[in-house]
Amino acid sequence: MTTSQKGVIFLDSSVILRYFLGDSTAKDIIEGSSRFAINVIVFSEVSFNLLKLLYIEKYRGYRFYDMKSSLSMLNYDILKGYKIFNSFLDELSNEDRLVFLPITMEVVKEASEIAIKYGLLPNDSLIVATCRHYGIDTIATFDEDFKRIPWLKVIP
């Protein structure tokens, strides 16, 4: 384990996405006084899903390759998803409530072991391995799969 982030709560993409959708539980978690951590997995999942939600809102449906084509044509109605998320991250960072944790090769190797032991998908195992590597024992998530990890406290 490297630099300990004890007392920090890992913020899963499910909570951030529900926050953007107006979920009151997600709002209570994020707008509390806790300090949070995320990694590149959370950045990727939230960014992709915000783009997808904006695409669905504009076009009343979703097809992956149509969305991808729309992005390549610089459709700013959809691309604004990045700005929305970056503003959110900036706000938490400016309040000194967010740390971005790198995924090292050590984390990747541990993620494989965790995935096999607990039957997790790759992104979830990378999140769990990140938590273990940095000494984080609490995760804010609506994903029930994290409840299978005995040393990880799941909130709400």
Judge whether 85 and 112 are in contact, CB under 8 Å. no
Please give the angle made by the CA atoms of 13, 26 and 12, to the nearest 5 degrees.
Answer: 20
Boundaries of domain holding 22 = 9-53+81-155
Q: Rounded distance, CA 36 to CA 112, Å?
A: 24
Kind plus residue range of the DSSP H or E element containing 11:
strand 9-11
Q: Rounded distance, CA 80 to CA 71, Å?
A: 10
Question: How many domains are contained in the chain?
Answer: 1
Confidence of residue 1 (pLDDT cuts 50, 70, 90): very low
pLDDT in tens, 54-92: 999 999 999 999 999 999 999 999 999 999 999 999 999
| Domain annotation covers residue 102 | yes
Give me the CATH number covering residue 93. 3.40.50.1010
pTM reported for the whole predicted model: 0.93
